[in-house]
Copies of this chain bind each other. A is one copy, B any other.
Amino acid sequence: MEPCFLTAAEAASAMRAGTLTSEALIRSCIERIEERDPDVKAWLYVDKAKAIATARELDKRAPMGPLHGLPFGVKDMIDTADMPTTYNSPVFQGYQPARDAACVGVVRYSGAVILGKTDTVEFATAGRRAATRNPKNFAHTPGGSSSGSGAAVGDRQVQLAFGTQTGGSHIRPASFNGIYGLKPTWGSVSREGAKQYSNMLDTIGWYGRSVADLALVGSAFRLHDVGEVAMPDVAGLKVAWCRSPFWDQIEPAGEKALEMARDRLAKAGAKLIELTLPPAFDGMFEAQNTIMMAEGRASFLDVSLEFGDRLHADFHDRANNALGITPEKLIAAYNLAAECRRAFEALYADFDVVLTPASPGEAPEGSYNTGNHIFNAMWTLLHVPCLGIPCTTGPKGLPVGVQIVAPRYGDARLLALGEALAPVIDQETASYAAAA
Protein backbone atom coordinates (compact mmCIF):
# COMPACT_ATOMS: atom_id res chain seq x y z
CA MET A 1 0.00 0.00 0.00
CA GLU A 2 1.24 3.49 -0.80
CA PRO A 3 2.23 5.18 2.48
CA CYS A 4 -0.22 8.03 1.83
CA PHE A 5 -3.07 5.57 2.47
CA LEU A 6 -1.83 4.64 5.95
CA THR A 7 -3.37 6.27 8.97
CA ALA A 8 -1.07 8.53 10.97
CA ALA A 9 -0.91 5.97 13.75
CA GLU A 10 -0.02 3.20 11.28
CA ALA A 11 2.65 5.36 9.66
CA ALA A 12 4.11 6.31 13.06
CA SER A 13 4.22 2.67 14.02
CA ALA A 14 5.93 1.71 10.74
CA MET A 15 8.50 4.47 11.23
CA ARG A 16 9.22 3.27 14.75
CA ALA A 17 9.60 -0.28 13.39
CA GLY A 18 12.02 0.97 10.73
CA THR A 19 9.85 -0.18 7.81
CA LEU A 20 8.96 3.35 6.70
CA THR A 21 10.88 6.61 6.57
CA SER A 22 9.38 10.02 6.94
CA GLU A 23 10.83 10.93 3.56
CA ALA A 24 9.01 8.04 1.86
CA LEU A 25 5.79 9.01 3.59
CA ILE A 26 6.09 12.67 2.62
CA ARG A 27 7.00 11.78 -0.97
CA SER A 28 3.95 9.54 -1.18
CA CYS A 29 1.68 12.34 0.08
CA ILE A 30 3.22 14.76 -2.41
CA GLU A 31 2.63 12.31 -5.25
CA ARG A 32 -0.96 11.96 -4.18
CA ILE A 33 -1.31 15.75 -4.06
CA GLU A 34 0.20 16.08 -7.53
CA GLU A 35 -2.16 13.48 -8.87
CA ARG A 36 -5.35 14.60 -7.17
CA ASP A 37 -5.17 18.19 -6.07
CA PRO A 38 -5.57 19.82 -9.49
CA ASP A 39 -9.17 18.58 -9.13
CA VAL A 40 -9.69 18.65 -5.37
CA LYS A 41 -8.00 22.02 -4.77
CA ALA A 42 -7.46 21.40 -1.09
CA TRP A 43 -4.16 23.26 -0.87
CA LEU A 44 -3.30 26.93 -1.24
CA TYR A 45 0.40 26.31 -0.71
CA VAL A 46 2.62 23.24 -0.51
CA ASP A 47 6.35 23.45 0.04
CA LYS A 48 7.40 20.11 -1.37
CA ALA A 49 11.15 20.65 -1.27
CA LYS A 50 11.13 21.91 2.28
CA ALA A 51 8.86 19.09 3.47
CA ILE A 52 11.17 16.48 1.94
CA ALA A 53 14.25 18.16 3.41
CA THR A 54 12.62 18.31 6.85
CA ALA A 55 11.59 14.65 6.62
CA ARG A 56 15.17 13.70 5.75
CA GLU A 57 16.47 15.52 8.80
CA LEU A 58 13.87 13.88 11.01
CA ASP A 59 14.81 10.47 9.65
CA LYS A 60 18.35 11.05 10.95
CA ARG A 61 17.49 12.09 14.47
CA ALA A 62 15.92 10.67 17.63
CA PRO A 63 12.14 11.13 17.90
CA MET A 64 11.21 14.70 18.79
CA GLY A 65 7.75 13.76 20.01
CA PRO A 66 4.59 11.81 19.24
CA LEU A 67 4.25 13.24 15.72
CA HIS A 68 7.79 12.50 14.58
CA GLY A 69 7.94 12.41 10.80
CA LEU A 70 4.20 12.72 10.20
CA PRO A 71 2.87 15.20 7.63
CA PHE A 72 0.51 17.93 8.80
CA GLY A 73 -1.71 20.30 6.86
CA VAL A 74 -2.51 23.73 8.29
CA LYS A 75 -5.76 25.55 7.61
CA ASP A 76 -4.72 28.80 6.02
CA MET A 77 -6.13 31.07 8.70
CA ILE A 78 -3.45 29.75 11.04
CA ASP A 79 -0.05 31.47 10.87
CA THR A 80 3.08 29.72 9.64
CA ALA A 81 6.52 31.29 9.86
CA ASP A 82 7.80 29.60 6.71
CA MET A 83 4.76 29.70 4.45
CA PRO A 84 2.44 32.51 3.37
CA THR A 85 -0.85 32.79 5.24
CA THR A 86 -3.65 34.31 3.20
CA TYR A 87 -6.75 33.59 5.34
CA ASN A 88 -8.14 33.01 1.81
CA SER A 89 -8.68 36.75 1.72
CA PRO A 90 -7.93 38.91 -1.31
CA VAL A 91 -6.44 41.51 1.05
CA PHE A 92 -3.90 39.08 2.55
CA GLN A 93 -2.46 37.50 -0.60
CA GLY A 94 1.25 36.87 -0.08
CA TYR A 95 1.12 37.78 3.61
CA GLN A 96 4.00 36.17 5.47
CA PRO A 97 3.67 35.95 9.28
CA ALA A 98 6.84 36.23 11.30
CA ARG A 99 5.99 33.38 13.63
CA ASP A 100 4.13 30.08 13.74
CA ALA A 101 0.78 30.05 15.45
CA ALA A 102 1.05 28.34 18.83
CA CYS A 103 -0.67 25.19 17.55
CA VAL A 104 1.72 24.93 14.60
CA GLY A 105 4.66 25.37 16.97
CA VAL A 106 3.40 22.55 19.16
CA VAL A 107 3.10 20.03 16.33
CA ARG A 108 6.36 21.17 14.72
CA TYR A 109 8.25 20.71 18.00
CA SER A 110 6.50 17.37 18.39
CA GLY A 111 8.11 16.22 15.15
CA ALA A 112 5.45 16.94 12.51
CA VAL A 113 6.38 17.95 8.97
CA ILE A 114 4.31 20.95 7.92
CA LEU A 115 3.32 20.06 4.38
CA GLY A 116 1.40 23.18 3.45
CA LYS A 117 -1.63 25.42 3.87
CA THR A 118 -5.18 24.31 3.14
CA ASP A 119 -7.97 26.40 1.68
CA THR A 120 -10.61 27.89 3.96
CA VAL A 121 -13.62 30.13 3.95
CA GLU A 122 -12.24 33.70 4.21
CA PHE A 123 -10.99 34.30 7.79
CA ALA A 124 -12.87 31.03 8.61
CA THR A 125 -15.91 33.25 8.83
CA ALA A 126 -17.72 34.37 5.67
CA GLY A 127 -16.84 36.31 2.50
CA ARG A 128 -14.96 34.23 -0.05
CA ARG A 129 -15.40 30.46 -0.02
CA ALA A 130 -12.65 27.91 -0.52
CA ALA A 131 -12.16 26.62 -4.06
CA THR A 132 -11.92 23.10 -2.63
CA ARG A 133 -14.21 20.36 -3.95
CA ASN A 134 -15.44 17.26 -2.23
CA PRO A 135 -12.98 14.52 -3.19
CA LYS A 136 -15.83 12.00 -3.42
CA ASN A 137 -17.81 14.14 -5.87
CA PHE A 138 -16.34 17.31 -7.30
CA ALA A 139 -19.78 18.85 -7.77
CA HIS A 140 -20.17 19.02 -3.99
CA THR A 141 -18.63 21.06 -1.19
CA PRO A 142 -16.22 19.39 1.24
CA GLY A 143 -17.89 21.54 3.89
CA GLY A 144 -16.39 24.57 5.52
CA SER A 145 -14.77 26.57 6.80
CA SER A 146 -12.11 23.85 7.20
CA SER A 147 -12.67 22.91 3.57
CA GLY A 148 -9.15 22.14 2.42
CA SER A 149 -8.09 20.31 5.57
CA GLY A 150 -11.18 18.09 5.50
CA ALA A 151 -10.76 17.29 1.81
CA ALA A 152 -6.99 16.73 1.98
CA VAL A 153 -7.28 14.23 4.83
CA GLY A 154 -10.35 12.62 3.23
CA ASP A 155 -8.57 12.32 -0.11
CA ARG A 156 -5.51 10.68 1.46
CA GLN A 157 -3.26 13.57 0.52
CA VAL A 158 -2.13 14.02 4.12
CA GLN A 159 -2.73 12.10 7.35
CA LEU A 160 -3.32 14.99 9.73
CA ALA A 161 -4.53 18.57 9.42
CA PHE A 162 -5.77 21.43 11.57
CA GLY A 163 -9.29 22.74 11.30
CA THR A 164 -11.12 25.21 13.50
CA GLN A 165 -14.68 25.47 14.74
CA THR A 166 -16.64 28.57 15.73
CA GLY A 167 -20.03 27.28 14.54
CA GLY A 168 -19.61 23.90 12.85
CA SER A 169 -16.49 24.37 10.75
CA HIS A 170 -14.59 21.34 12.00
CA ILE A 171 -16.95 18.46 12.74
CA ARG A 172 -19.22 19.08 9.74
CA PRO A 173 -16.40 18.71 7.17
CA ALA A 174 -15.30 15.56 9.02
CA SER A 175 -18.76 14.15 8.30
CA PHE A 176 -18.74 15.31 4.66
CA ASN A 177 -15.30 13.84 3.97
CA GLY A 178 -15.64 10.52 5.77
CA ILE A 179 -12.87 11.22 8.27
CA TYR A 180 -12.24 11.51 11.98
CA GLY A 181 -12.06 14.88 13.69
CA LEU A 182 -11.56 16.09 17.24
CA LYS A 183 -12.76 19.46 18.43
CA PRO A 184 -11.17 19.50 21.88
CA THR A 185 -12.51 21.32 24.90
CA TRP A 186 -12.55 25.09 24.42
CA GLY A 187 -9.40 26.59 25.89
CA SER A 188 -7.32 23.42 25.89
CA VAL A 189 -5.40 24.41 22.74
CA SER A 190 -4.00 27.90 22.27
CA ARG A 191 -5.54 29.92 19.44
CA GLU A 192 -2.67 32.38 19.32
CA GLY A 193 -1.77 33.05 15.72
CA ALA A 194 -5.09 31.78 14.34
CA LYS A 195 -7.41 34.42 12.91
CA GLN A 196 -9.90 35.34 15.60
CA TYR A 197 -13.64 35.39 15.03
CA SER A 198 -15.20 34.75 18.44
CA ASN A 199 -13.47 34.67 21.82
CA MET A 200 -16.06 32.45 23.42
CA LEU A 201 -16.32 29.96 20.55
CA ASP A 202 -13.19 29.65 18.40
CA THR A 203 -11.62 26.23 18.91
CA ILE A 204 -8.74 24.60 17.08
CA GLY A 205 -9.16 20.95 16.19
CA TRP A 206 -7.55 18.34 13.99
CA TYR A 207 -8.46 15.69 11.48
CA GLY A 208 -7.12 12.17 11.13
CA ARG A 209 -8.16 8.84 9.68
CA SER A 210 -8.67 7.00 12.93
CA VAL A 211 -9.25 7.73 16.59
CA ALA A 212 -5.66 6.68 17.21
CA ASP A 213 -4.56 9.47 14.84
CA LEU A 214 -6.52 12.01 16.84
CA ALA A 215 -5.07 10.70 20.09
CA LEU A 216 -1.52 11.07 18.76
CA VAL A 217 -2.13 14.79 18.20
CA GLY A 218 -3.93 15.01 21.52
CA SER A 219 -0.82 13.70 23.23
CA ALA A 220 1.28 16.39 21.50
CA PHE A 221 -1.11 18.98 22.98
CA ARG A 222 -0.98 17.22 26.36
CA LEU A 223 -4.75 17.14 26.68
CA HIS A 224 -5.67 16.32 30.26
CA ASP A 225 -5.15 12.61 31.03
CA VAL A 226 -4.61 11.72 27.37
CA GLY A 227 -3.24 8.20 27.05
CA GLU A 228 -4.15 7.49 30.67
CA VAL A 229 -7.73 6.34 30.14
CA ALA A 230 -8.26 2.67 29.29
CA MET A 231 -10.47 1.78 26.33
CA PRO A 232 -13.80 0.61 27.72
CA ASP A 233 -15.79 -2.41 26.57
CA VAL A 234 -18.64 -1.52 24.25
CA ALA A 235 -20.82 -4.10 25.95
CA GLY A 236 -22.64 -2.37 28.78
CA LEU A 237 -21.58 1.17 27.83
CA LYS A 238 -24.42 3.62 28.35
CA VAL A 239 -24.71 5.61 25.14
CA ALA A 240 -27.18 8.50 25.14
CA TRP A 241 -28.31 9.05 21.59
CA CYS A 242 -29.60 12.55 21.11
CA ARG A 243 -31.51 13.95 18.17
CA SER A 244 -30.88 17.42 19.62
CA PRO A 245 -33.47 20.22 19.73
CA PHE A 246 -32.86 20.84 16.02
CA TRP A 247 -34.04 17.52 14.66
CA ASP A 248 -36.52 19.22 12.32
CA GLN A 249 -33.50 20.14 10.20
CA ILE A 250 -32.18 16.61 9.83
CA GLU A 251 -32.07 15.10 6.33
CA PRO A 252 -32.76 11.45 5.51
CA ALA A 253 -29.03 10.69 5.26
CA GLY A 254 -28.34 12.24 8.65
CA GLU A 255 -31.21 10.34 10.20
CA LYS A 256 -29.93 7.13 8.64
CA ALA A 257 -26.43 7.74 10.05
CA LEU A 258 -27.67 8.36 13.59
CA GLU A 259 -29.97 5.35 13.54
CA MET A 260 -27.32 3.12 11.99
CA ALA A 261 -24.74 4.13 14.59
CA ARG A 262 -27.30 3.62 17.35
CA ASP A 263 -28.36 0.21 16.08
CA ARG A 264 -24.80 -0.98 15.47
CA LEU A 265 -23.87 -0.02 19.02
CA ALA A 266 -26.95 -1.71 20.44
CA LYS A 267 -26.09 -4.83 18.51
CA ALA A 268 -22.57 -4.72 19.97
CA GLY A 269 -24.03 -4.74 23.47
CA ALA A 270 -24.09 -1.05 24.37
CA LYS A 271 -27.09 0.24 26.32
CA LEU A 272 -28.79 2.88 24.23
CA ILE A 273 -30.70 5.60 26.05
CA GLU A 274 -32.61 8.30 24.20
CA LEU A 275 -31.57 11.69 25.50
CA THR A 276 -33.95 14.62 25.22
CA LEU A 277 -32.24 17.79 26.34
CA PRO A 278 -34.08 20.12 28.72
CA PRO A 279 -35.99 23.03 27.10
CA ALA A 280 -33.24 25.58 27.91
CA PHE A 281 -31.13 23.97 25.17
CA ASP A 282 -33.68 24.99 22.54
CA GLY A 283 -32.20 28.49 22.61
CA MET A 284 -28.60 27.39 22.18
CA PHE A 285 -28.43 27.68 18.40
CA GLU A 286 -29.60 31.26 18.47
CA ALA A 287 -27.34 32.00 21.45
CA GLN A 288 -24.34 30.68 19.54
CA ASN A 289 -25.19 32.90 16.58
CA THR A 290 -25.68 35.94 18.79
CA ILE A 291 -22.31 35.46 20.48
CA MET A 292 -20.50 34.72 17.24
CA MET A 293 -21.87 37.75 15.42
CA ALA A 294 -21.53 40.10 18.39
CA GLU A 295 -17.96 39.05 19.14
CA GLY A 296 -17.14 39.35 15.45
CA ARG A 297 -17.68 43.07 15.90
CA ALA A 298 -14.36 43.46 17.74
CA SER A 299 -12.60 40.82 15.64
CA PHE A 300 -13.05 42.56 12.30
CA LEU A 301 -12.80 46.22 13.31
CA ASP A 302 -9.11 46.52 12.46
CA VAL A 303 -9.41 45.02 8.97
CA SER A 304 -12.58 47.02 8.37
CA LEU A 305 -10.70 50.27 9.09
CA GLU A 306 -7.55 49.17 7.28
CA PHE A 307 -8.90 47.75 4.05
CA GLY A 308 -12.11 49.69 3.49
CA ASP A 309 -13.77 48.86 0.17
CA ARG A 310 -11.22 46.16 -0.59
CA LEU A 311 -12.68 44.04 2.20
CA HIS A 312 -15.73 41.81 1.67
CA ALA A 313 -18.97 43.36 2.96
CA ASP A 314 -19.52 40.41 5.31
CA PHE A 315 -16.71 41.67 7.57
CA HIS A 316 -17.85 45.28 7.55
CA ASP A 317 -21.28 43.99 8.53
CA ARG A 318 -19.80 42.29 11.56
CA ALA A 319 -17.62 45.27 12.53
CA ASN A 320 -20.66 47.55 12.17
CA ASN A 321 -22.98 45.25 14.12
CA ALA A 322 -25.31 45.12 11.12
CA LEU A 323 -27.60 42.77 13.04
CA GLY A 324 -28.01 45.40 15.76
CA ILE A 325 -27.35 42.91 18.56
CA THR A 326 -27.92 44.61 21.89
CA PRO A 327 -25.81 44.04 25.01
CA GLU A 328 -28.92 42.64 26.71
CA LYS A 329 -29.28 39.99 24.02
CA LEU A 330 -25.59 39.14 24.11
CA ILE A 331 -25.52 38.87 27.90
CA ALA A 332 -28.61 36.65 27.84
CA ALA A 333 -26.82 34.38 25.36
CA TYR A 334 -23.72 34.18 27.60
CA ASN A 335 -25.90 33.39 30.61
CA LEU A 336 -27.87 30.72 28.78
CA ALA A 337 -24.64 29.07 27.63
CA ALA A 338 -23.31 29.01 31.19
CA GLU A 339 -26.56 27.50 32.45
CA CYS A 340 -26.59 24.81 29.76
CA ARG A 341 -22.93 23.93 30.33
CA ARG A 342 -23.75 23.17 33.92
CA ALA A 343 -26.95 21.33 33.05
CA PHE A 344 -25.24 19.21 30.40
CA GLU A 345 -22.58 18.05 32.84
CA ALA A 346 -25.20 17.16 35.43
CA LEU A 347 -26.95 14.94 32.85
CA TYR A 348 -23.80 12.87 32.50
CA ALA A 349 -24.50 11.07 35.74
CA ASP A 350 -26.88 8.86 33.75
CA PHE A 351 -24.70 7.75 30.83
CA ASP A 352 -21.14 7.41 29.49
CA VAL A 353 -21.25 9.32 26.24
CA VAL A 354 -23.58 11.24 23.91
CA LEU A 355 -24.10 10.18 20.30
CA THR A 356 -25.57 12.87 18.04
CA PRO A 357 -25.58 14.03 14.38
CA ALA A 358 -22.43 15.61 12.96
CA SER A 359 -24.22 17.20 10.00
CA PRO A 360 -27.78 17.30 8.66
CA GLY A 361 -26.80 14.82 5.94
CA GLU A 362 -24.48 14.66 2.96
CA ALA A 363 -22.43 17.57 1.62
CA PRO A 364 -24.58 20.01 -0.38
CA GLU A 365 -24.00 20.62 -4.06
CA GLY A 366 -21.87 23.54 -5.19
CA SER A 367 -19.14 25.42 -3.40
CA TYR A 368 -20.86 28.49 -1.93
CA ASN A 369 -23.07 26.68 0.57
CA THR A 370 -20.65 24.76 2.79
CA GLY A 371 -23.49 23.16 4.75
CA ASN A 372 -25.52 23.88 7.82
CA HIS A 373 -23.94 24.06 11.28
CA ILE A 374 -27.24 23.47 13.06
CA PHE A 375 -26.00 20.20 14.60
CA ASN A 376 -22.66 21.69 15.69
CA ALA A 377 -23.24 25.20 17.01
CA MET A 378 -24.72 24.18 20.36
CA TRP A 379 -21.81 21.86 21.15
CA THR A 380 -19.29 24.55 20.27
CA LEU A 381 -20.98 26.94 22.67
CA LEU A 382 -21.07 24.24 25.36
CA HIS A 383 -17.23 24.10 25.10
CA VAL A 384 -17.40 20.30 25.18
CA PRO A 385 -15.08 17.99 23.21
CA CYS A 386 -16.66 16.48 20.08
CA LEU A 387 -15.30 13.57 18.11
CA GLY A 388 -16.52 13.05 14.55
CA ILE A 389 -16.74 9.42 13.37
CA PRO A 390 -17.56 8.28 9.82
CA CYS A 391 -20.65 6.10 9.64
CA THR A 392 -22.27 5.58 6.27
CA THR A 393 -23.07 7.14 2.91
CA GLY A 394 -26.13 9.01 1.71
CA PRO A 395 -28.20 8.67 -1.46
CA LYS A 396 -25.51 10.40 -3.54
CA GLY A 397 -22.80 8.09 -2.24
CA LEU A 398 -21.26 10.81 -0.11
CA PRO A 399 -20.06 10.17 3.44
CA VAL A 400 -22.16 10.99 6.49
CA GLY A 401 -20.77 10.77 10.00
CA VAL A 402 -21.94 11.14 13.56
CA GLN A 403 -20.26 12.66 16.57
CA ILE A 404 -19.76 11.61 20.16
CA VAL A 405 -19.57 14.21 22.90
CA ALA A 406 -18.15 14.26 26.45
CA PRO A 407 -18.17 16.83 29.24
CA ARG A 408 -15.65 19.69 29.28
CA TYR A 409 -12.08 18.44 29.70
CA GLY A 410 -13.23 14.87 29.13
CA ASP A 411 -11.13 14.75 25.93
CA ALA A 412 -9.06 11.76 27.04
CA ARG A 413 -12.17 9.86 28.03
CA LEU A 414 -13.80 10.77 24.72
CA LEU A 415 -10.79 9.47 22.79
CA ALA A 416 -10.83 6.21 24.76
CA LEU A 417 -14.56 5.87 24.13
CA GLY A 418 -13.96 6.65 20.48
CA GLU A 419 -11.38 3.85 20.23
CA ALA A 420 -14.04 1.45 21.46
CA LEU A 421 -17.02 2.82 19.51
CA ALA A 422 -15.43 3.69 16.17
CA PRO A 423 -14.90 0.11 14.93
CA VAL A 424 -18.60 -0.50 15.60
CA ILE A 425 -19.93 2.73 14.10
CA ASP A 426 -17.53 2.96 11.15
CA GLN A 427 -17.84 -0.30 9.22
CA GLU A 428 -17.79 1.18 5.74
CA THR A 429 -14.68 3.35 5.30
CA ALA A 430 -11.97 0.89 6.35
CA SER A 431 -11.14 -0.30 2.87
CA TYR A 432 -10.69 3.16 1.41
CA ALA A 433 -7.51 2.39 -0.50
CA ALA A 434 -9.16 -0.38 -2.44
CA ALA A 435 -12.24 1.71 -3.16
CA ALA A 436 -10.34 4.87 -4.14
Chain B residues closer than 8 Å to A28, beta-carbon distance: none
B188–A298 touching, CB < 8 Å? yes
Complex partner residue of A302 from B190, B302, B334, B345, CB under 8 angstroms: B190
Stretch with Cβ within 8 A of B (4 or more), from A2-10, A98-106, A244-252, A267-275: A98-106
Query: Could you tell me if B105 and A299 are in contact, using CB atoms closer than 8 angstroms?
Result: no
Knowing A96-B98, A97-B98 touch, does A199 contact B224 (C-beta < 8 A)? Answer: no
Tell me which of A205-213, A233-241, A335-343, A351-359 binds B: A335-343
Q: Determine whether the beta carbon of B299 is less than 8 Å from that of A102.
A: yes
Could you tell me the distance between the alpha carbons of A119 and B303 in the complex, rounded to whole angstroms? 27
**A188 nearest CB across to chain B (Å):** 6
Chain B residues in 8 Å Cβ range of A370: none
Q: Give which listed residue, B99, B221, B301, B327, contacts A224 with CB less than 8 A.
A: B327
A342→B100 CA distance, assembly (Å):
38
Q: Are B305 and A109 in contact (CB under 8 A)?
A: yes
Residue of B nearest to A383 (CB): B334
A254-293 to B contact mask, C-beta < 8 Å, 1/0: 0000000000000000000000000000000000000000
Residues of B within 8 A of A335 (CB): 338, 341-342
For the complex, what is the distance from the CA of A65 to the CA of B195, rounded to whole Å? Answer: 25
- Give Cα A48 to B65, complex, Å: 46
| Contact between chains at B187 and A196 (CB < 8 Å) | no
Interface centre among A100, A195, A306 (most CB of B within 10 A): A306
Q: Which of B110, B298, B306, B408 contacts A187 (CB 8 A)?
A: B298
A189, CB-defined interface residue at 8 Å: yes
Q: Give the oligomeric copy count.
A: 2
A15 to chain B, nearest CB (A): 20
**Residue A200, interface by CB 8 Å:** yes
The answer to whether the Cβ of A222 comes within 8 Å of any Cβ in the partner chain is yes
Q: Which partner residue on chain B sits nearest A291 by CB separation?
A: B187
Which residues of A from 364 to 400 have beta carbons under 8 Å from B? Answer: none
- Is the Cβ of A409 less than 8 Å from the Cβ of B97? no
Q: Which residues of B contact A190 (CB under 8 A)?
A: 196, 298-299, 301-302
A6→B341 CA distance, assembly (Å): 49
User: Which residues of A in the span 145-186 have a Cβ within 8 Å of any Cβ on B?
Assistant: 186
Given contacts A98-B97, A409-B327, A409-B330, contact A306 B105 (CB under 8 A): yes
Q: Is the CB of A306 within 8 A of B109?
A: yes
Known A99-B97, A342-B335, A345-B331; judge A302-B408 contact (CB<8 A): no
How many angstroms between the C-alpha atoms of A60 and B229 in the bound complex?
66
Residues of B contacting A187 in the complex (Cβ-Cβ under 8 angstroms): 199-200, 295, 298
Q: How far in angstroms is the closest Cβ of chain B from A192?
A: 5
- A102 vs B315: C-alpha distance when bound (angstroms): 14
Residues of B near A301 (CB, < 8 A) are 102, 106, 190, 221-222
> Which B residues touch A195, using CB under 8 A?
192
Task: Tell me the complex Cα distance, A187–B331, Å.
Answer: 12
The 13 listed contacts between A and B (C-beta, < 8 Å) are A95-B99, A96-B98, A105-B306, A109-B306, A187-B199, A190-B196, A190-B298, A192-B299, A221-B301, A334-B341, A334-B408, A338-B338, A338-B339
- List 11 extra interface pairs beyond A199-B199, A327-B410, CB under 8 A: A102-B196, A109-B305, A186-B199, A189-B298, A190-B196, A222-B301, A327-B408, A327-B409, A331-B408, A335-B341, A338-B342
